Amino acid sequence: MADDLVNVQIDGTWHQFPKGTRMIEACRQAGVEVPHYCYHPKLSSPGNCRMCLVEMGMPPRPKPGEELTRDEDGRLPIQWMPRPVIACANTVSENLGIRTESALTKSCREGVMELLLINHPLDCPICDQAGECRLQEFSVEHGTGGSRFREDKVKKPKNVDIGPRVRLDDERCIMCSRCIRFTAEVADDPVLGFTERGSHTTLAVHPGRRLENNYSLNTVDICPVGALTSTDFRFQMRVWFLKEIESICTGCGRGCNTEVSSREGSILRQTPRENNEVNSTWMCDRGRLDFHYVNSEARLTQPLLKGSEGHRAVSWKIAVKTLADNLAGFESSKIAIIASARLTNEDLYLVRRLAQQLGVKELDVIARLGEDDGYLVAADRNPNSRGAALVLGLDSEPGSRVCGIRRDIESGKIAALLAIGEDLTSPEAGFSPALLSQLEFLGQIHHTANSTADAAAVVLPGATSFEKSGSMVNVTGRLQRLAPVVPLPGEAREDWVILRDLLQALDGGNGAGSSDEVFSLLAQEVSAFEGRTLAGISPLGEVLLETGETVPLLEREKERIAKGEIVG
Amino acid sequence: MSNVTYISGKEPHSREHRLIFRNIDRKGYDPGLKCYLKDGGYEQLKKAVTMEPKAITDEVKAAGLRGRGGAGFPTGLKWTFIPPTNTKPVYLICNADESEPGTFKDRYIMHQDPHQLLEGMAIACYAVGAKLAYIYVREEFPHAARILEEAIAEATKAGFLGKGICGSTFDLELYVHRGAGAYICGEETGLIESLEGKRPYPRIKPPFFPAVLGLYMSPTIVNNVESLCHVKHILAMGGAEYAKLGTPNNTGTRILCVSGDVQKPGYFEVQVGKVTLGEVIQDLCGGLKPGRKLQAVIPGGSSAKVLRADERFKLKRGDEMVEIGLEDIPMDFDSLAACGSMAGSGGVIIIDDSRKISWVLNNINSFYAHESCGQCTPCREGSLWMKKISDRIVAGKASPDDVATLESVANNIEGKTICAFGEACSWPTQSFIRKFREELVADTREELAGVPVNHETTLAAANLKN
A167-218, pLDDT tens digit by residue? 999 999 999 999 999 999 999 999 999 999 999 999 999 999 999 999 999 9
B253-289, pLDDT tens digit by residue? 999 999 999 999 999 999 999 999 999 999 999 999 9
Asked if A53 lies within 8 A of B416 by C-beta distance, the reply is yes
Query: Could you give the percent of chain B with pLDDT greater than 90?
Result: 94
Residue A147 has pLDDT above 90, yes or no: no
Asked if B374 lies within 8 A of A86 by C-beta distance, the reply is no
Judged by DSSP in three states, A405 sits in: helix
Which contacts of A546-550 are long-range, i.e. CB under 8 A and separated by 24 or more positions? A546/A477, A547/A386, A547/A475, A547/A476, A547/A477, A549/A475, A549/A476, A549/A477, A550/A476
**Three state DSSP letters for chain B:** CCCCCECCCCCCCCCCCCCCCCCCCECCCCCCHHHHHHCCCCHHHHHHCCCCHHHHHHHHHHHCCECCCCCCCEHHHHHCCCCCCCCCCEEEEEEECCCCCCCCCHHHHHHHCHHHHHHHHHHHHHHHCEEEEEEEECCCCHHHHHHHHHHHHHHHHCCCCECCHHHCCCCEEEEEEECCCCHHHHCHHHHHHHHCCCCCCCCCCCCCCCCCCCHHHCCEEEEEHHHHHHHHHHHHHCHHHHCCCEECCEECEEEEEEEECECCCEEEEEECCCCEHHHHHHHHCCCECCCCCEEEEECCCCCCCCEECCCEEEEEECCEEEEEEHHHCECCHHHHHHCCCCCCCCEEEEEECCCCHHHHHHHHHHHHHHHCCCCCHHHHHHHHHHHHHHHHHHHCCCCHHHHHHHHHHHHHHCCCCCCCHHHHHHHHHHHHHHHHHHHHHHCCCHHHCCCCCCHHHHHHHHCCCC
Q: Give DSSP secondary structure letters for A427-485.
A: TTT---HHHHHT-SEEEEEESB--HHHHH-SEEEE---TTS--EEEE-TTSEEEEE---
B143-159, pLDDT tens digit by residue? 999 999 999 999 999 99
| φ, ψ for residue B56, nearest 5 deg | -70, -45
- Which of the 8 DSSP states describes residue A333? G
| φ, ψ for residue B111, nearest 5 deg | -70, -40
Q: Rounded distance, CA A385 to CA A368, Å?
A: 9
Q: Rounded distance, CA A281 to CA A273, Å?
A: 6
Residue A509 has pLDDT above 80, yes or no: no
Closest-approach residue (CA) in chain B for A36: B377
Report yes or no on A232 lying in a domain. yes
| φ, ψ for residue A559, nearest 5 deg | -60, -45
Give the domains, in start order, of chain B with CATH numbers: 33-244 (3.40.50.11540), 252-352 (3.10.20.600), 357-465 (1.20.1440.230)
Q: What is the per-residue pLDDT for B450?
A: 81
- Are A19 and A59 found together in one domain? yes
The CATH number of the domain holding residue A484 is: 3.40.50.740
The answer to whether A367 touches A247, Cβ cutoff 8 Å, is: no
- Asked if A97 has any chain B CB less than 8 Å from its own CB, the reply is no
Report yes or no on A256 lying in a domain. yes
Q: Rounded distance, CA A439 to CA A450, Å?
A: 17
Closest-approach residue (CA) in chain B for A111: B412
- What is the band of B460 on the pLDDT scale with cuts at 50, 70, 90? confident
The answer to whether B48 touches B301, Cβ cutoff 8 Å, is: no
- Are A197 and A313 found together in one domain? no
- Are A85 and A146 found together in one domain? no
Task: Kindly list the residues from chain A whose CB atom is less than 8 angstroms away from the CB atom of residue B373.
Answer: 197-198
Q: What is the per-residue pLDDT for B455?
A: 82
Residue A511 has pLDDT above 90, yes or no: no
Pick the last residue of a domain from A77, A101, A125.
Answer: A101
Residue A508 has pLDDT above 80, yes or no: no
- Are A393 and A494 found together in one domain? yes
Q: Whole domain around residue A443: which residue ranges?
A: 304-552
Buried (b) or exposed (e) across B357-379, using 16+ Cβ within 10 A? bbebbbbbbbbbbbbbbbbbbbb
Q: Which residues neighbour B162 within 8 Å (Cβ) at sequence distance 6 or greater?
A: B156, B171, B172, B173
- What is the band of B2 on the pLDDT scale with cuts at 50, 70, 90? low
Q: Rounded distance, CA A474 to CA A531, Å?
A: 19
| φ, ψ for residue A195, nearest 5 deg | -120, 170
- Are A205 and A287 found together in one domain? yes
Report yes or no on A558 lying in a domain. no
- Are A86 and A127 found together in one domain? no
- Are A394 and A498 found together in one domain? yes
- Are A67 and A165 found together in one domain? no
A374-399, pLDDT tens digit by residue? 999 999 999 999 999 999 999 889 99
Is the bond preceding residue A552 a cis peptide, omega within 30 degrees? no
Pick the last residue of a domain from A267, A295, A323.
Answer: A295
What is the ipTM, given to two decimal places? 0.93
- What is the band of B1 on the pLDDT scale with cuts at 50, 70, 90? very low
- Are A78 and A143 found together in one domain? no
Report yes or no on A144 lying in a domain. yes
Report which secondary-structure segment, H or E, holds A364. strand A362-365
Query: Mean pLDDT score of chain A, rounded to an integer?
Result: 96
Q: Looking at the 3D structure of chain A, how many domains does it have?
A: 3
- Are A287 and A309 found together in one domain? no
Q: What is the per-residue pLDDT for B453?
A: 82
Closest-approach residue (CA) in chain A for B398: A150
Q: Which of B226, B304, B223, B313 is nearest to B272 (CA)?
A: B226
The residue type at A191: V
B21-67, pLDDT tens digit by residue? 999 999 999 999 999 999 899 999 999 999 999 999 999 999 999 99
Q: Rounded distance, CA A281 to CA A283, Å?
A: 7
Report yes or no on A179 lying in a domain. yes
Q: Rounded distance, CA A232 to CA A166, Å?
A: 8
Task: Kindly list the residues from chain A whose CB atom is less than 8 angstroms away from the CB atom of residue B402.
Answer: 150
Asked if B416 lies within 8 A of A51 by C-beta distance, the reply is no
Q: Identify any residues that bridge with A299 across adjacent strands, giving them in sequence order.
A: A448
The residue type at A280: S
- Which of the 8 DSSP states describes residue A237? -
Q: What is the per-residue pLDDT for B308?
A: 97
Q: What is the per-residue pLDDT for B459?
A: 84
Pick the last residue of a domain from A252, A270, A295.
Answer: A295
Q: What is the per-residue pLDDT for B462?
A: 82
- What is the band of A1 on the pLDDT scale with cuts at 50, 70, 90? very low
B219-229, pLDDT tens digit by residue? 999 999 999 99
Report yes or no on A107 lying in a domain. no
Report yes or no on A472 lying in a domain. yes
- Asked if B44 has any chain A CB less than 8 Å from its own CB, the reply is no
| φ, ψ for residue A422, nearest 5 deg | -135, 140
Q: Identify any residues that bridge with A55 across adjacent strands, giving them in sequence order.
A: A99
Judged by DSSP in three states, A297 sits in: coil
CA angle A330/A331/A335 to nearest 5° reads: 70
A305-332, pLDDT tens digit by residue? 999 999 999 999 999 999 999 999 999 9
The CATH number of the domain holding residue A35 is: 3.10.20.740
Judged by DSSP in three states, A104 sits in: helix
Task: Nearest by CB to A175, from B374, B389, B417: name it.
Answer: B374
Asked if A86 lies within 8 A of B204 by C-beta distance, the reply is yes
Length of chain A: 568
- What is the band of A478 on the pLDDT scale with cuts at 50, 70, 90? very high
Q: Which of A500, A444, A491, A507 is nearest to A470 (CA)?
A: A500
- Asked if A199 has any chain B CB less than 8 Å from its own CB, the reply is yes
Task: Kindly list the residues from chain A whose CB atom is less than 8 angstroms away from the CB atom of residue B389.
Answer: 151
The residue type at A402: V
Q: Rounded distance, CA B107 to CA B283, Å?
A: 24
Q: Give B 338-377 residues with CB within 8 A of chain A.
A: 369-377
CA-based torsion, A364, A368, A371, A373: positive or negative: negative
Judged by DSSP in three states, A126 sits in: helix
- Are A22 and A86 found together in one domain? yes
The CATH number of the domain holding residue A225 is: 3.30.70.20
- Are A72 and A158 found together in one domain? no
